[in-house]
Amino acid sequence: MKNKVIISLASFSILVGAYGLSAVLSPKPTDATEVVPTRYVKLWELKEPAKAKQELTREQLSVRRMKENEANELGYVDDVSLSIVPGMLFRSNMAEGTLVTADDFIRPDDADYVDFILAEGKMPYRLTVVTENIVGTAIESGDLIDILAFTGLNGEDAYQEVALASKPVKGAISVTPIFAAIKVLRVETEVKKDDTQPQATTFILEMDRKQAVTLTLAKRIATLEIQKSIGQFDMSEYQADAGDILHDFDSIVELRADKTTIN
């Protein structure tokens, strides 16, 4: 009888120990499931309709954040990067609400930009001028410019030479507008090779053939000055000759037109 009691107690102790050990070794249940944060993708959306060749502005776009899985279904795997620069144009017509990328636009530094923006019946004309002959604020792609021609003497001794010149010679020394509101397709600033060379800027202009021929001649016989267009103006206010600088000199320059009209 005593042996049965001892065996029963031993068995009970073994069972209690085994239960305790299993409780220690068993993994504890997790109180809450780990929450994975929702990832969003940054996209750009048009706030209004746009037409091909229309210039892009920041005000036309809004930022749209879309869930990653939804963006992936539309073909977007990461944030869309879009850097807006002056002269950046829409490649095609687009509706309000369209999601856009850099591929939907053409930039002034793209190889096909000039051909894309060139109007029918026009040709690109390359004009390089010394930067000091560019007057006023910075000129960018899409701007309109006026071109003035200076004919006459130049240099430190110019004043003395003009004073001693005959009236016909003095009358030929003048500044005259030759073109108004010419469209700039592209602007290229050349890097100086050394300090002996003046800084130069190249403009790709939109012109018809007659304008191109006239400008080619003007480059040969005059010094050209460029400035951002002021719109319609009175030509007489845009001309000057030696008589405006030298006292007691009667100019013989004949004004052949009173106004310049911009189409």
pLDDT at 125: 96
Least confident interval from 159-168, 192-201, 221-230: 159-168
pLDDT at 258: 45
Q: Residue 233 sits in which domain range?
A: 118-260
Sort strands 223-228 and 134-135 into parallel, antiparallel or unpaired: parallel
**112 vs 211: CA distance, rounded Å:** 23
Q: Which of 15-19, 34-38, 155-159: highest mean pLDDT?
A: 34-38
Residues 126 and 96 in one domain: no
Residues 66 and 31: beta-carbon distance below 8 Å = no
pLDDT at 256: 41
**250 vs 263: CA distance, rounded Å:** 35
Q: Provide the 8-state DSSP code for 33.
A: P
Residues 123 and 204: beta-carbon distance below 8 Å = no
Phi, psi of 72 (to 5 degrees): -60, -35
- Residue 148 host element (H or E): strand 144-151
Question: Bigger pLDDT: 72 or 32?
Answer: 72
pLDDT at 230: 73
**Which domain CATH number covers 82?**
3.90.1210
In a domain, 220, yes or no: yes
Residues 229 and 133 in one domain: yes
pLDDT at 106: 96
Please enumerate in sequence order all residues whose Cβ is within 8 A of that of 3, keeping only pairs 6 or more positions apart, or say none. none
| Final residue of a structural domain among 71, 86, 106 | 106
Q: Which of 3-7, 57-61, 218-222: highest mean pLDDT?
A: 57-61
Tokens of 45: 């959306």
Residues 73 and 138 in one domain: no
The number of distinct structural domains making up the chain is 2
Say if residue 107's pLDDT is above 70.
yes
In a domain, 82, yes or no: yes
In a domain, 17, yes or no: no
**80 vs 78: CA distance, rounded Å:** 6
Residues 195 and 131 in one domain: yes
| Final residue of a structural domain among 106, 134, 161 | 106
- Residue 20 host element (H or E): helix 2-25
Residues 146 and 169 in one domain: yes
Residues 254 and 124 in one domain: yes
Residues 100 and 137 in one domain: no
Q: Is 122 exposed, middle or buried (0-12, 13-18, 19+ CB in 10 A)?
A: middle
Residues 71 and 191 in one domain: no
Rounded average pLDDT over 145-150: 89
In a domain, 33, yes or no: no
pLDDT at 177: 85
Tokens of 107: 């930039």
Residues 97 and 203 in one domain: no
pLDDT at 137: 75
End-to-end CA distance of the chain: 126
Say if residue 129's pLDDT is above 50.
yes
Residues 130 and 245 in one domain: yes
Give the model confidence (pLDDT) of 18-35 as tens digits.
555 555 555 555 656 777
In a domain, 80, yes or no: yes
Residues 201 and 224 in one domain: yes
Say if residue 94's pLDDT is above 80.
yes
Say if residue 254's pLDDT is above 50.
no
Residues 208 and 122: beta-carbon distance below 8 Å = yes
Say if residue 99's pLDDT is above 60.
yes
Residues 167 and 48 in one domain: no
